[in-house]
Amino acid sequence: MDAGKRLIDDIYNGSRQLVIPFFQRAYVWEEELWLRFLDSMEQVSKTGKEYFLGSVIMKQVSTSSSGAVGDIRTVIDGQQRLTTLALFLKVLCFRSGEKEFFKSKFFPRKRIALVHNMHDKDVFEKIILQEELASVDANTKLARAYDFFLQRVTPEKFNLDNILAHVTFVGIDLHGEDDEQVIFDTINSIGVMLTTAELLKNYLFSEDTKEIYLSKWKPTFEADNDVVSYWSSGPISGKYVRENLDMLLYAYLHIKINDPVYGLTSIQKGRFRTAVDLFSQYKEFMDLTQIDREQLIDELVDYAKIYKENISSNILDEEIGNTYSLERINLIMFGLDTSTMIPYILYLIKNQPDINERNKIAKILESYVMRRFICRASNDNYSDLFAFSLLSPQFLTAENLKRYLSTKESDSSLRMPDDIELVYAFENNFLNDSRAKSVLYMLESLIRSTKYSTSLRPLKSYTLEHLMQKKMESPGMAI
């Protein structure tokens, strides 16, 4: 890694091509930032004082000696600034009589110097390739930024020579062995981080695999605003929202690392025990297994459909049925904060087509989790159980699951409390209001039938008044 002060000429040097990752975020700057940018450029033009425009991280790309451009670099960080600067310089150079200078910087060997991402590629190239300045008919922020500069940038206000001489960056050039993601995350640690899904999408897709993205990933995760909103929302855990897509990605990865076809050792599997840095875990898994990327996408899409149809924290706002089912397990997962069960539940739904068998398994799981919940047993080892141990074909039947859980009798961290322990817990354990409410709700939901004149109501709006009799009898009246 090489780092240091860079001028505009060092970055747009007339012989280098900068490539924004194909699935990087779109251009997002708006008028407030455009105004600040122009104010800064005007100050540099007037004073000739140095102005720091931020950092730019680039990584060298291997090129062929016969290629049209010998120096190609991926833009890891800085695409918003570099894009804004390019639009600004296009207008200023053309209006200052420096059209050929602009072309020399932005067309190295007749190639556009900044190759944009999928979202803005066509609009950006249309702007840069213009022989005469004119608005571009496109409803994008990038097109609006260009119009903004067309209306405000004149050589009377902005001095090209001063800007080229005094606008500086901190340039960070990475080599092949440098981990760009670690560096990017460190520099942007106080900003909005890229999500696991965004990082994974950038890693899986490119211009060459655009059709796979358009036919598989986009319809599943980005079809419209409602779909995007669903996958980016989810239950609140502590102060944070656990996104549905992150929970799906965690579950799918653990289903795959436990697939016997890959033969991963327990030591290798152990490297995936934490949910931290999930993107790096995906990269490691793909390196270890050499899984076909299209196969991975196909399977992930299949599990996404199962997830969306069967896993939802909205169950907290719905009345629950009185028969054992995976619907009730949904309530346990999100009402009792045991979403670590999701990998096993998804695996079960995909691989066990018999609904009756699933319901039998649901009964065992409900008894197991609720007994431990009432007995105040820790759920610290649930990840090991539901994201590792049970992800095997043998646990697709209730009989085998029950037998396996019974083997944990001597393991206090995972054992199922017996009836004696359960009765003792009911009589002696103190549960706070929310935990007590959850237990009573699950019990009442099982015994309630159509003879009741009032509905049970969802867990979120359930109160203990539902258990009180409607009319109190006086002591002297017969009961």
- Residue 388 neighbours by CB under 8 Å, 6+ apart: 254, 258, 269, 273
Is 474 a residue whose pLDDT tops 70?
no
- Enclosing H/E stretch for 357: helix 355-374
Alpha-carbon gap, residue 185 to 278, rounded angstroms: 14
Is 280 a residue whose pLDDT tops 60?
yes
The whole-number pLDDT of residue 190 equals 39
- Read off the pLDDT of each residue in 398-406 and give the average, rounded to a whole number: 95
Per-residue pLDDT band for 233 (boundaries 50, 70, 90) equals confident
What 3-state class would DSSP assign to 230? helix
**Could you tell me the two tokens for 455?**
């509905």
- Read off the pLDDT of each residue in 228-240 and give the average, rounded to a whole number: 74
Of the listed ranges 137-151, 227-241, 349-363, 384-398, the least confidently predicted one is: 227-241
**Could you tell me the two tokens for 187?**
């520099």
Adjacent-strand bridge partners of 149: none
The whole-number pLDDT of residue 66 equals 54
Per-residue pLDDT band for 478 (boundaries 50, 70, 90) equals very low
Specify the higher pLDDT residue, 259 or 176: 259
Alpha-carbon gap, residue 103 to 94, rounded angstroms: 10
The whole-number pLDDT of residue 180 equals 56
Return the biggest CA–CA distance within the chain: 104
Per-residue pLDDT band for 165 (boundaries 50, 70, 90) equals very high
Of the listed ranges 112-126, 144-158, 347-361, 394-408, the least confidently predicted one is: 112-126
Supply the mean pLDDT for the chain: 85
The whole-number pLDDT of residue 177 equals 61
The whole-number pLDDT of residue 446 equals 86
58-72, 210-224, 385-399: range with highest mean pLDDT: 385-399
The whole-number pLDDT of residue 184 equals 54
Is 99 a residue whose pLDDT tops 70?
yes
Is 373 a residue whose pLDDT tops 70?
yes
CB atoms within 10 A of CB 46: 12
Per-residue pLDDT band for 479 (boundaries 50, 70, 90) equals very low
Is 293 a residue whose pLDDT tops 70?
yes
Alpha-carbon gap, residue 410 to 408, rounded angstroms: 5
What 3-state class would DSSP assign to 71? strand
Alpha-carbon gap, residue 287 to 264, rounded angstroms: 12
413-440 confidence digits (pLDDT tens): 899 999 999 999 989 988 887 888 888 8
CA atoms within 13 A on the CB side of 223: 9
What does residue 3 show for φ and ψ, rounded to 5 degrees?
A: -135, 150
Q: How far is CA 221 from CA 231, 240, 406, in A?
A: 7, 21, 40
The whole-number pLDDT of residue 76 equals 82
Adjacent-strand bridge partners of 72: 17, 61
Of the listed ranges 42-51, 55-64, 202-211, 299-308, the least confidently predicted one is: 55-64
